[in-house]
Amino acid sequence: MRVLLVLLIALWSVPSLALIAGEELADPVLEARAREISKELRCLVCQNQSIDDSNAGLAKDLRALVRERLLAGDSDSEVTAYAVARYGDFVLLRPPFKAATYALWLGPAAMLLLAFAGAGVYMRRQSRHVNKAAPLDDDERLRLNSLLDDS
């Protein structure tokens, strides 16, 4: 039972080999180029995987498209440019830093700065309330002194 469990966990943790046997190119140099390009293109279905890692049907189609373009004589950058022209910058796992993608690149830093600014404002307001405690009146002072004398 334990052996079966270990085998299942091992098989589950191994990255899926999305490339189907019939997809590979005969030329090992072209196949290596296709694999490198495929690692840089996002699966439009999975969105957090490259088309090289994805088993989705669209990823399979994109892998075939990459190989077709390479067989047609396109360079790596031409293949990538073709995919971008067809699907936009979203197809790139590492989109370029340009006006259309500023929010993507700068958004996390802006959100972090806003969070720190909000926390600073909150802390400042809280410290003002704590520091402005009203002084004790005579009854409270007498009660406090009696409590301190008892101990």
Fold of 2-96: Helicase, Ruva Protein; domain 3 (1.10.8)
Residue 48: pLDDT above 50?
Answer: yes
pLDDT for the residue numbered 95:
85
Q: What are phi and psi of 19, to 5 degrees?
A: -70, 125
The Cα 51–Cα 125 span in angstroms is 50
- pLDDT band, very low/low/confident/very high, at 11 (cuts 50, 70, 90): low
* Alpha carbon distance 9, 15 (integer Å): 12
Q: Please state the domain extents for the chain.
A: 2-96, 100-150
- If one compares 49 and 133, the residue with the highest pLDDT of the two is 49
Q: How far apart are CA 149 and CA 151, in angstroms?
A: 5
Distance between CA 25 and CA 63 in Å, rounded? 11
